[in-house]
Amino acid sequence: MSKKNLINAAEVKNTMQSKETKTVKGRGKKAPVWKVLGRSRRKFDAQLTKDNDVKRQCIAFCIGEYYSDELRFWLDFKSHTEKLLDSMSFRKYCENRSLKPAIVAEHLVYEGESVVKKVLCDGIEPVMGERVMMFTQPLFIDEQRLYSVN
């Protein structure tokens, strides 16, 4: 081998090493349900009238951006509420205050993924305070009985 070939081989090796991708721990992709809820919260915050009907309309408006089927969104949404409902301390807190756990869970999921995680770790009181008393009407109204358990 000539000296020129050795230099080219060394250059190739250096360029190959520089092109290797380095894995960096970063933010993972958000699930579409959290994207819908995030956009919906921003839209809801801009509204003059703030009630559950407006919240539902904001959600309905944002679903089409990430889901082709509205029912699929609501099934994903309900699966996240089930995580809260699995917590005995969550249920007990709601029952002690005469609140329906399923309705409170819906509103907490609407507040976002980080709120749900904090509630599961720290409890409702330190995270939401007395705001939880406003959560009395459901966000998801199953008019067609699609999510009912027989």
The structure's pTM equals 0.75
The share of the chain scoring above pLDDT 70, in percent, equals: 76
The 10 Å CB-count burial string (b at 16+, else e) for 2-12 is eeeeeeeeeee
CA distance 142 to 47: 25
The share of the chain scoring above pLDDT 90, in percent, equals: 56
The answer to whether 106 and 90 are in contact (CB under 8 A) is: no
CA distance 108 to 92: 16
Q: What is the pLDDT of residue 19?
A: 47
CA distance 92 to 90: 5
The 10 Å CB-count burial string (b at 16+, else e) for 92-101 is ebbeeeebeb
CA distance 134 to 146: 26
Is 70 exceeded by the pLDDT of residue 94? yes
CA distance 128 to 108: 9
Region of residue 98 (left: phi > 0; alpha: psi -120 to 50; beta: else): left
pLDDT tens, position by position, 105-122: 999 999 999 999 999 999
Residue 104, token pair as written in the block: 């409170």
